[in-house]
Structure 1
Amino acid sequence: MKEKIFLLVITCFVIVVKAQMTNIGSFYISENTLISVHEDILIKDYGAIVNDGDLYLFKNFTNDGKFKFTNDKITGLTSFVGSDSQTISGRGTSSFMLVEFDNQSADLAFNLDKEIEIAGTTFFEKGILKAGEQGIVTYFNGATNIGVSNKSYVNNKVQKRGNERFVFPVGDYHSKTFVPRAVTISAPSDPTTNFYVCFNWEKANIDFSTKEEDIGLIDMNEFWDVQNKSNDELITLTLTWSNLTTPEDIYSDPSKIIIVRWNGEKWIKEREGVKIDSSRKSITANVSGYGIFTLACEKKRGTIDPVIDFSVSNSFSPDGDGINDEFVIPGLAEAYPTFKIKIYNRYGNIVYKYSNNNQLNPIWWDGKSDGRLTLTGKTKVMPATTYWYVVDFNDGKTKPYQGWLYLNK
């Protein structure tokens, strides 16, 4: 057991006021020293803490001054281990060598309202970092992360500075479903390169109908924003798929999975250096630029556009009043009598699947699901929200169509 002591260097003032520890001077925690703080900790704008030992924080951490470690050492563990949710905030620089997140209170245990810098290993045990508008985790060369799972990761966004290969421990959530979706970049050549990655489990506000000819179904349910904020150097990008967030039609044949990028005008396929690892559920490709990425499946059949106007079919209200109670696409059955349609919810699960067999009066979606295809269990009536659908015209020449619809009540 490490001896619990305070080691004073230069000047140190610790004041306890109303269950808060306030640091207003210089405070040093030496190697082989363990300190536990069971109250909120506040570092004033003229205060500084250097941690080369083990610091366990059980409450909120506010840094308006400096929090750092000795540069030539690889010691200094800061462990956030509270039993209540913890906020990490403040205007000052917070630099960690080793950091642990292990809060048993809730899934979204950590509110990150500032930038924190990590130079060593991050130990993800329990609790997800929910990054606010000003919150972000920035990693440096030599940084790694261990233990990323659906119990602990960084929600949405992470930065990496340096010229090493790196795995971004990002993820997102809906309701009570938490999903890590790691992103890997190859090593840039410039040691000052700053990469930004953000994962979003939601629809992107982008036109999914404009794409290269050999792109089939695009994953409209999740996307990654990948940016090189320093220069124009291109890297190799590895994305992953998940049976919780990625539509089954994307990964049912892993050999057809592709990475696509929105270039500002249309979706393009990343064609160089493609490698697919089905066991790891990952795909790698050399990027041709930066921006919004997602997954898609390759599809070479279909070269002409449909003759249907889908803009008149973007909402319906299954409230039983006899008006607009079903999702109907006028003229579809007449023009394409053997069409197929799938409708997906926000989680990427199919809520409706139908194949028309030359029927002039198809069975249109009435807003219900049998429960087996959703994350909501036995619920039959689907909630009022946005869904997306794919129409396969099944004629060997017309390109499939993807669109959004809104279920209103």
Structure 2
Amino acid sequence: MVQTIIGIKLMVLLYNKLIIMKEKIISSIIMCFVIAVKAQTINTGTLYISENTLISIHEDLFIKDYGAITNDGDLYVFKNFTNNGKFKFSNNEITGFTSFVGNDNQTISGKGTSSFMFVEFDNQSADLAFNLNKEIEIVGTTFFENGILKAEENGMVTYLNGATNTGVSNKSYVNNKVQKRGNESFTFPVGDYQSKIFVPRMVTISAPSDPTTNFYACFNWEKANLDFDKKEEDIGLIDMNEFWEIQNKSNDELVALTLTWSDVTTPEDIYSDPSKIIIVRWNGEEWIKEREGISIDVSGKSITAKVSGYGVFTLACEKKRGTIDPVIDFSVSNSFSPDGDGVNDEFVIPDLAENYPKFKMKIYNRYGNVVYEYSNNNELNPTWWDGKSYGKLTLTGETKVMPAATYWYVVDFNDGKTKPYQGWLYLNK
């Protein structure tokens, strides 16, 4: 079948009077009125893109309040997409492919309803190529190729029953929140970035029973404003570097949750012994361990557990050693400034060596990498951190001055009875 190709360009008035539809609606006549002005393609009427028809729009596409586009063919959008009307596909169709493609950053916005059957994101202009300022619905498959979809405050990708996604990589995913409606298991294509390092950190839920269930998932690769010293007794080191927020917005049904660990975002101490990995949840007062339905897939770098509630989740490792709290006041040691002026140039924890002479300490940067590691051997004057990373802890093997930033640390009191402590510190310059 020969394809009908319609090129819509600047300052061209296209008035499409007749479109031949499928046999069951062959008698229908759809009037479409499309105007291109001032580097915009403005849709004010009804445009139907039939199967085996391709439309390529090289200027901004703007669907006005009473405008509508039904796409059962192939639509390529090279610039911004603003929909204040309706964008959809025919309910009886399994075609309808929309591709956001180009070499310039693209914004997807508007107050209208946007429902896609198949959608592709393939823009090589920048890592954060797509700014999503509205909710879009996906019914079929999302093809992630190039360009990260940044979900702004009003932006949301919502997947319906039967929807899937493919091609998720550090080149293309949703940053950083996604919704799923339905009663199927689903993997959320979420991720985050820091300092031009982009990572997908997908999370999977098992199938809920109610087809109207609405799940929300968000991933954050940053410091959380939570107390990591408040935790159940058998929880050891908690991953203070990455957090998944999972919410069931419809009911109280509990599902199984699958998280993965990554050598980019997860501290090595968490997964060095995969048999001890656990999923923990902040219940509003303390971190608790998810204890039911535990399954660890070492080759897939994942752990599954049935949740006991919803909220903020992360990874941790089991550690039963230590039953009492430390006698140190860590609140006086939350910042230092290694600027060489002789004042507060080192990260010092007062009374630590006196009370726990064999303590061990690790300090991590925001990527989960160890930047300082020290074991004290009954020394009353320990070697405190001076804000530099040494030897094998750096990529070059040379001394490296660390930037002003928030770091987190773990103190192992190494006395067989005191629970390890982890906290935040700020390196100021």
Specify the TM-score bucket, using the shorter chain as the normaliser. over 0.9
In the aligned structure 2, how far is the partner of 1:205 from the partner of 1:72?
A: 48
In structure 2, the partner of 1:197 is 217
How far off its partner does 1:375 sit?
7.6
Contact 1:96 1:117 in 2 (8 A): yes
After superposition, the C-alpha distances for 1:149-185 in whole angstroms (9 at most, x for unaligned) are 1110000100000000100000000112111011000
In the aligned structure 1, how far is the partner of 2:174 from the partner of 2:394?
A: 26
In the aligned structure 2, how far is the partner of 1:373 from the partner of 1:277?
A: 28
Aligned residues: 409
Relative distance call for 1:372 and 1:78 in structure 2 (3 A) is farther
After superposition, the C-alpha distances for 1:182-212 in whole angstroms (9 at most, x for unaligned) are 1000000000000000000001111110000
161, 178, 191: which one aligns with 1:158: 178
How far off its partner does 1:267 sit?
0.4
Within-5 A mapping of 1:13-24: 13-24=33-44
In structure 2, the partner of 1:233 is 253
Moved more, 269-278 or 362-371: 362-371
How far off its partner does 1:11 sit?
2.3
In the aligned structure 1, how far is the partner of 2:361 from the partner of 2:181?
A: 45
In the aligned structure 1, how far is the partner of 2:422 from the partner of 2:389?
A: 20
Unaligned runs of 5+ in 2: 7-15, 20-28
Look up the SS of the partner of 1:233 in the other structure: coil
339, 345, 352: which one aligns with 1:325: 345
Within-5 A mapping of 1:129-144: 129-144=149-164
In structure 2, the partner of 1:286 is 306
Matched, 1:69 2:113: no
Contact 1:350 1:374 in 2 (8 A): no
After superposition, the C-alpha distances for 1:54-75 in whole angstroms (9 at most, x for unaligned) are 0011000000000000112110
After superposition, the C-alpha distances for 1:303-356 in whole angstroms (9 at most, x for unaligned) are 000011111101101010000000000111111111000001111111111011
How far off its partner does 1:377 sit?
9.2
In the aligned structure 2, how far is the partner of 1:393 from the partner of 1:212?
A: 18
**TM-score, normalization by structure 2:** 0.93
Contact 2:394 2:400 in 1 (8 A): no
In structure 2, the partner of 1:105 is 125
Moved more, 366-375 or 124-133: 366-375
**TM-score, normalization by structure 1:** 0.98
Matched, 1:207 2:208: no
One-letter amino acid matched to 2:158: T
Look up the SS of the partner of 1:255 in the other structure: helix
Look up the SS of the partner of 2:187 in the other structure: strand
311, 314, 324: which one aligns with 1:304: 324
207, 212, 215: which one aligns with 1:187: 207
In the aligned structure 1, how far is the partner of 2:398 from the partner of 2:262?
A: 22
How far off its partner does 1:370 sit?
2.8
After superposition, the C-alpha distances for 1:118-138 in whole angstroms (9 at most, x for unaligned) are 000000000100110000100
Matched, 1:121 2:122: no
Relative distance call for 1:41 and 1:160 in structure 2 (3 A) is same
In the aligned structure 1, how far is the partner of 2:397 from the partner of 2:373?
A: 18
In the aligned structure 1, how far is the partner of 2:330 from the partner of 2:185?
A: 44
How far off its partner does 1:363 sit?
0.5
Contact 1:250 1:257 in 2 (8 A): yes
One-letter amino acid matched to 2:67: G
After superposition, the C-alpha distances for 1:21-47 in whole angstroms (9 at most, x for unaligned) are 000001000001111101100000100
Contact 2:82 2:108 in 1 (8 A): yes
How far off its partner does 1:373 sit?
3.4
Matched, 1:35 2:58: no
Within-5 A mapping of 1:305-384: 305-370=325-390, 372-373=392-393, 380-384=400-404
In structure 2, the partner of 1:273 is 293
Relative distance call for 1:174 and 1:372 in structure 2 (3 A) is farther
235, 248, 258: which one aligns with 2:278: 258
Matched, 1:59 2:76: no
Relative distance call for 1:371 and 1:254 in structure 2 (3 A) is same
Q: What is the RMSD of the two structures over their aligned residues, measured on CA atoms?
A: 1.4
Work out the percentage of aligned pairs sharing the same amino acid.
83
In the aligned structure 1, how far is the partner of 2:411 from the partner of 2:355?
A: 13
In the aligned structure 1, how far is the partner of 2:393 from the partner of 2:62?
A: 49
Relative distance call for 1:341 and 1:229 in structure 2 (3 A) is same
In the aligned structure 1, how far is the partner of 2:152 from the partner of 2:212?
A: 25
Q: Which has the larger radius of gyration?
A: 2
In the aligned structure 2, how far is the partner of 1:150 from the partner of 1:227?
A: 25
Contact 1:349 1:374 in 2 (8 A): no
178, 186, 190: which one aligns with 1:170: 190
In the aligned structure 2, how far is the partner of 1:273 from the partner of 1:380?
A: 44
After superposition, the C-alpha distances for 1:68-124 in whole angstroms (9 at most, x for unaligned) are 001121100000111111000000010000000010111111001110000000000
In the aligned structure 1, how far is the partner of 2:410 from the partner of 2:321?
A: 15
Look up the SS of the partner of 2:269 in the other structure: helix
One-letter amino acid matched to 1:183: V
In structure 1, the partner of 2:26 is none
In structure 2, the partner of 1:4 is 5
After superposition, the C-alpha distances for 1:355-378 in whole angstroms (9 at most, x for unaligned) are 111111110000011375368997
Unaligned runs of 5+ in 1: none
Moved more, 378-387 or 185-194: 378-387
In the aligned structure 1, how far is the partner of 2:36 from the partner of 2:392?
A: 55
In the aligned structure 1, how far is the partner of 2:391 from the partner of 2:122?
A: 35
How far off its partner does 1:271 sit?
0.3
Moved more, 373-382 or 261-270: 373-382
Relative distance call for 1:75 and 1:268 in structure 2 (3 A) is same
In the aligned structure 2, how far is the partner of 1:378 from the partner of 1:361?
A: 25
